[in-house]
């Protein structure tokens, strides 16, 4: 069980936790994170900053914080990002101030990020609880990507190659959940987070 070792203030709240959820594209991460947020409405959701333009229906400050490349790179130089990466030519990053402020105030944070970002966060915040969502098989993953109809054949193959690379690093995560059934996987993820938030989890 995690302990708050800073006793400078007698009534300082228990530190918040960071829950990291990562998965290959098509493994169901977004849906599972949505279920988690529905179950725990007070769970703070980490909204990334990006240099890519908004897509139809996206809202600044809800889906992403949309900023210029110049502002993003200035943030890299000033240490503004807890993690950042370049994906398909666009920059993505998480505000370190947001994370440290939440933790300090006893607020739990959910991060829906890729393996590259997850590794950076776990390096900076070793107490973070990392969860990797696995597809039942590569064949099932490929069928899911084809069914959702968002990608061309070449893009799907690229995502499959990326998925294999991400799965190869799954052991850096504290927990692995196989999403072979959405309801079961969601229940497993919710129970895991609940065990930490209720204090019943034993390390």
CATH, domain 18-198, list 3.40.50.970, 3.10.20.30, 3.90.1150.10, 3.40.50.300: 3.40.50.300
Whether 203 has a pLDDT exceeding 60, the answer reads no
Residue ranges of domains in the chain: 18-198
Question: pTM for this one?
Answer: 0.83
- Cα–Cα distances (Å) from 11 to 24, 106, 136, 181, in that order, read 41, 12, 46, 43
Residue 12: the pLDDT is 60
How many CB atoms are closer than 10 A to CB 111? 24
Question: Can you say how many angstroms the Cα of residue 187 is from the centroid of all Cα atoms in its chain?
Answer: 18
Q: What is the mean pLDDT of the chain?
A: 88
Q: In the numeric block, which tokens belong to residue 161? A: 């190659």
pLDDT digits (tens, 9 = 90+) for 15-40: 999 999 999 888 889 899 999 999 99
Higher pLDDT, 188 or 55: 188
- DSSP class of residue 64 equals B
| pLDDT band per the 50, 70, 90 thresholds, residue 132 | very high
């Amino acid at each position: 069980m995690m302990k708050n070792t800073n006793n400078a203030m007698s009534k300082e709240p228990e530190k918040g936790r960071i829950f990291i959820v990562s998965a290959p594209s098509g493994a169901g991460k977004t849906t599972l994170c949505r279920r988690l947020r529905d179950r725990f409405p007070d769970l703070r959701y980490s909204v990334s900053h990006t240099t890519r333009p908004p897509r139809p229906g996206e809202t600044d400050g809800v889906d992403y914080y949309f900023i210029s490349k110049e502002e993003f790179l200035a943030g890299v130089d000033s240490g503004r990002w807890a993690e950042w990466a370049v994906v398909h030519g666009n920059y993505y990053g998480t505000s370190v101030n947001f994370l440290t402020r939440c933790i300090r105030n006893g607020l739990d944070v959910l991060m829906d990020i890729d393996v590259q970002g997850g590794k950076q966060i776990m390096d900076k915040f070793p107490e973070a609880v990392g969860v990797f969502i696995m597809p039942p098989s590569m064949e099932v993953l490929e069928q899911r990507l084809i069914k959702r109809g968002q990608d061309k054949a070449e893009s799907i193959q690229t995502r499959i190659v990326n998925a294999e690379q991400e799965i190869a690093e799954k052991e850096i995560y504290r927990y692995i959940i196989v999403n072979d059934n959405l309801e079961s996987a969601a229940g497993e993820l919710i129970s895991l987070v609940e065990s930490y938030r209720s204090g019943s989890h034993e390390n």
